[in-house]
Amino acid sequence: MIPTASAKPKTLDGPRIGAQPIALAAATLLVLVVGAASIALWRVYTGTSPELDRIAAVRQLQAKTALVSEQIVEKTKGLEASQEESIDQLQVLQDQLQTVRRALAAQQADTKQLSERVSGLTEAVEGLRQSFASARANESAPAPSTHNRSIRTRAHAAINVRHRKLAKSRS
């Protein structure tokens, strides 16, 4: 069998959209106008507007930001002040440390000088002992007290001379 051509082409079942475009556009416009009007009426009825809320929120955020900025500036100034105080205290401590170091160096020099003088005196006393021992061995027994006085006198004179030299060098 041979198919016959029919006058009606095969299409999808359902209404055709392009048949009345003006009516479709008018219905869409009507839906949009009703939607916009209902949003406007809702805003008027409730008394709130998202734009005003957003503006208020932005202003509050700006105020909080300014407050936080001021607090940060105050804290920074406080930190700067405490840092300057710490630096001043550190400088005072460094000056005191330098003073103590100088005093310690002077004391060490004095100690060294006194140690040298004590060793000199020790050598002088040792020399006197040796001379006393040798003089005693050479002398006879009759006049030990006279000889002892002369050695003592010489030892005291040597010690007095050293004491005078120390006193002159200190002043």
**pLDDT tens string 19-76:** 688 888 999 999 999 999 998 888 778 776 677 778 888 999 999 999 999 999 999 9
Q: For residue 120, which of 169, 59, 47, 53 has the smallest C-alpha distance? A: 169
pTM of the predicted model as reported, rounded to 2 decimal places: 0.39
140 or 131: which leads in pLDDT: 131
At 63, list the tokens: 């105020």
Using pLDDT thresholds of 50, 70 and 90, give the confidence band for residue 96: very high
Position 165 pLDDT exceeds 60: yes
